[in-house]
Amino acid sequence: MTVTHHPGEELLIDFAAGGLAEPWSLAIATHLALCPNCRQTVADAEAVGGALLDGLALAAIDDDALDRVLARLDEAPPIETAGSNQAAPGTVLPEPLRSYVGGDLGQLRWRRLGFGASQVQIKTANDSGAVRLLRVPGGGSVPHHGHHGPELTVVLAGGFTDAQGHFLRGDLQQTDPSVRHQPRSDPGAPCISLTVTNAPLDFSSRLVRALKPWIGI
C-alpha cells in the first residue's frame, strides 16, 4: 500500500529544523513511520541543517570549555544502539504514537463522542495543539464543519473520503480555516485516525453546535 497524501514540504522542513511544536510533530512522525518518501525529504532537510550549521560564524567558547567536557567523558558510557522495539504481529499503531498512547488499539479506552464516533485524548508536554485518536464507524461521517485553525489528520486504519480525495492508512490530510468538509468513512471497518487541532471544530449545523458541550471536539 502506497501513501498518496503527504504533508506540505514546509511542514517537513519545519519538523527537520526542530521548529514544529510537539503535537504537530507527533502527527508528522506518525506519517513518517509509514512513508519512506517523506523520510527522505526530512533527511535532505536535516542535511541542509547540517550544511547551515557548518557555515555559521564561530561563537567564542569559554577557555576551559574543552577541559570541562573532557573531565565528564569518563562518566559518560557509550550508548551502543537503541534497543529493538517489540510489537505483536498485526499491531496497528506505529512508534512513536504507540508509546504516547501506552499500547496498541486493544489497550485503548475510547470515550464516546456525539456522532457515533469515539476518541482517545493524547497528552503532550507542549499544548499548542489538541491530539486525539478518532474512531468513526464504517460508513459514518463527521458532521459538516470548518476549522478555526490548522488541522492535521493521519489515517491509521480504514479510510475516509472528502472533497480533497480518498485517504487511507498513512495518508496525511492538512487543512486550515479555508477548508470546510464532511469526511465520510469508508464502508466496513471503522476509520481510525490521529488528529491534531488547535481550535474547536466549527460545525455548520446549528443543532450540532448546540450539542457541542456534549460532543467535546
- E strands, 172-215, are 172-175, 184-185, 191-197, 201-203
Residue 120 or 215 having the CB closest to other proteins = 120
Residue 27, C-alpha cell as written in the block: 502527527
Place of cell 569518563: 74
Residue 58 or 207 having the CB closest to other proteins = 58
What is the smallest separation between the CB atom of 115 and other proteins, expressed in angstroms?
29
Residue 61 or 207 having the CB closest to other proteins = 61
Place of cell 506519517: 31
Q: What are 196's strand-pairing partners?
A: 131, 152
What is the smallest separation between the CB atom of 159 and other proteins, expressed in angstroms?
17
What is the smallest separation between the CB atom of 187 and other proteins, expressed in angstroms?
25
Nearest to 156 by CA among 121, 105, 103, 87: 105
Alpha carbons 6 and 3: distance in angstroms, whole number: 8
What is the smallest separation between the CB atom of 35 and other proteins, expressed in angstroms?
7
Residue 54 or 163 having the CB closest to other proteins = 54
